Amino acid sequence: MEVIATAGHVDHGKSTLVRALTGMEPDRWEEERRRGLTIDLGFAWTTLPSGRVVAVVDVPGHERFVGNMLAGVGPVPAALVVVAADDGWSAQTAEHVAVLDALGVRHALLAVTKADLADPAPVLADATERLAATSMGAVPGVAVSAPTGRGVPELAAALETLLAGLPAPDPAAPVRLWIDRAFPIRGAGTVVTGTLAAGTVAAGDRLLLGGREVGVRGVQSLGRPVDRASATARVALNLRGVAVEDLSRGDALLTPGAFRSTAEVDVVLAREPEDQLPAEAVLHVGSAAVPVRVRPLEGAAVRLRLAGPLPLRVGDRVLLRDPGARRVLGADVRDVAPPELRRRGAARQRAAELDGQDTGPAGAAADLARRRVVRADDFTAMGWPVPDDAVRAGPWLLAPGLVDELARRVPGLVAAHRQAHPLEPGPPVALVRRELDLPADDLVGLVVRTPLALRGGRVVVAAAGLPPAVQRAVDAVRARLAGNPFAAPDAEELRAARLGPRELAAAVRDGQLVRVAEGVYLAPGVEEQARARLLAVPQPFTLSQARSAWGTSRRVAVPLMEWLDARGVTEKLPDATRRLR
């Protein structure tokens, strides 16, 4: 299926032409049919002679309903511009064409209607010339008289040619269905309709709607139930888990995790404005319309603050409408998570970045270089392709060259920390992360290189050791323990050796002493030595028997036995005796 939207001045025969082409009544409201005035969006479809199916979104032509017109053309890839032979190019024709031009529509067909009432040739020539100056370029034109049927077959043939030239949509792309209608159906529940511009939707799918998950109970396309629908298509979805009162035109159904809702975006206008931009405008995208505050940066670069968040992506074409001046401006979204602008000259610098940045691989590389580190799913949800040379680390993407750059800084951080804290083997990982402005501790391991290492939650020099004076004191304690492994020095002996709490903690971190309890320090390997001596004691044994086997004091034996209990070497029995496990 292909989808096309009408455009043109009120009373130029858009709805009549749609009826003649499709045999369907596009006006849905009784008031529209009674007044002969399209007020809201209408929908019809037909099968062309080739078998190609085309759906038509018929939009209102009156200036009071331009917002409805924008909701209809926003998601649609091609337009049918209608101009009446007896009236010619009119004010609303110009406004609708300006909308199509601002949206960057490149595929269009011109229909000069009411050819039975006036010579269509002058209007055909004039409209073709005017359209040539827009994004649509050279537009084929057909003269038509809907009441008599003159030109309708030629219009159908021209539609065939137009639709055959449309770019193929991606059926595997994430779904972003902008809702243009929501209504209840008795026995079915909530139904929404929209133009599926990309992706595929099927019964049973789970989609996000304003941050909540809803289920797709059923899918219809062109009035018939289908198992699934792929872009481009007009679809109606029966939703589970949401009331119709909670929905409105402009809401979007999204593939979970594929889009980022944002209330601040940087855009580049399709054309640098000739007049001063308004401070406030209305942003149109898809079927949504949201008030925005406009902050010009420089040239065509603009920052927009949205009154409410929208699921936007880099590369989206949006339209800014100044209702007071009846002016529309097209803009390309360049950043959906823009940086703060605090420093003098930041706006000018940002404008230069945006002006030189495209929305393809080169732009993705530039954006990643600016962000340095970002979650991969966030980056793709922004609309960027992942650069081939990006560094992947778990859920993170790092800019090329960043790991080497940060690795060169780490030795200096470790040296500075050890100078300020000589008894610590190196800075904690969290401190290094903060100094390097990394978002997660896990990333520190990427930038630690020999002779540095990660040990005990710190970045250390692998062979750094203890300060010389502390090392000599620890060596003396270890020499004593080598002869008697359970003769832990007492508090007075430790003070005499100038081994205070900080020095002892450093020796424990360095693996040179084992802290059994407060004030009780023994040499590494004491666990195996204690167990070996207890093997010679009858099981179960008392604390007194263990103390004798170890040849030590009660000051050491009591905490050592509890330490062995805690480590699962020994087991305390109900009668206060113990046995080896």
Question: pLDDT tens-digit profile of 35-64?
Answer: 343 445 778 889 999 999 998 887 764 444
For the four alpha carbons of 48, 51, 52 and 54, in that order, the dihedral sign comes to positive
Residue 60 confidence (pLDDT): 61
Residue 96 confidence (pLDDT): 87
* 481-580: in CATH 1.20.5.50: no
Look up the pTM and report it: 0.77
User: pLDDT at residue 497 above 80?
Assistant: yes
In angstroms, the CA 312 to CA 306 distance is: 11
Beta strands in 286-394 (DSSP E): 288-298, 301-312, 317-322, 327-335, 373-375, 391-393
Q: What percent of the chain has pLDDT over 70?
A: 94
Residue 241 confidence (pLDDT): 84
| 2-165: CATH superfamily | P-loop containing nucleotide triphosphate hydrolases (3.40.50.300)
CA separation, residue 399 to residues 157, 325, 366 (Å): 51, 44, 9
Which tokens is 452 given? 């540095």
Residue 74 confidence (pLDDT): 67
195 within 8 A of 234, measured Cβ to Cβ: yes
The helix (run of H) or strand (run of E) holding residue 570 is strand 570-572
Strand partners, 196: 233
SS3 content of the chain, % helix, strand, coil (to 5): 35, 30, 35
Residue 456 confidence (pLDDT): 79
Backbone φ/ψ region at 207: left (φ over 0), alpha (ψ -120 to 50), beta:
beta
Which tokens is 27 given? 């006006």
Per mean pLDDT, which of 14-18, 137-141, 420-424, 483-487 is the most reliable?
A: 137-141
Based on C-alpha coordinates, what's the Rg of the chain?
37
26 within 8 A of 15, measured Cβ to Cβ: yes
70 within 8 A of 42, measured Cβ to Cβ: no
Q: What is the DSSP letter of 136?
A: T
In angstroms, the CA 252 to CA 235 distance is: 13
Mean pLDDT of the residues in the chain: 89
Range 63-87 average pLDDT = 76
In a 3-state reduction of DSSP, which class is residue 497? coil
366 within 8 A of 372, measured Cβ to Cβ: no
Query: If we measure between CA atoms, which residue out of 264, 274, 353, 342 comes closest to residue 306?
Result: 264
Strand partners, 530: none
Which tokens is 520 given? 């009780």
Which tokens is 397 given? 């993407």
Range 403-428 average pLDDT = 91
Question: pLDDT tens-digit profile of 443-482?
Answer: 999 999 988 888 879 898 766 667 888 889 988 999 999 8
Query: If we measure between CA atoms, which residue out of 8, 79, 5 comes closest to residue 42?
Result: 5
**Range with the poorest average pLDDT among 129-133, 416-420, 538-542:** 416-420
Which tokens is 560 given? 């050592």
CATH of range 176-254; options 2.40.30.10, 3.60.20.10, 2.60.40.10, 1.10.3210.10? 2.40.30.10
Cα distance from N-terminal residue to C-terminal residue, the chain: 75
Question: pLDDT tens-digit profile of 162-218?
Answer: 999 999 889 999 999 999 889 888 877 899 989 899 999 999 999 999 889 999 999
**Range with the poorest average pLDDT among 124-128, 340-344, 402-406:** 340-344
Residue 61 confidence (pLDDT): 45
In angstroms, the CA 207 to CA 19 distance is: 34
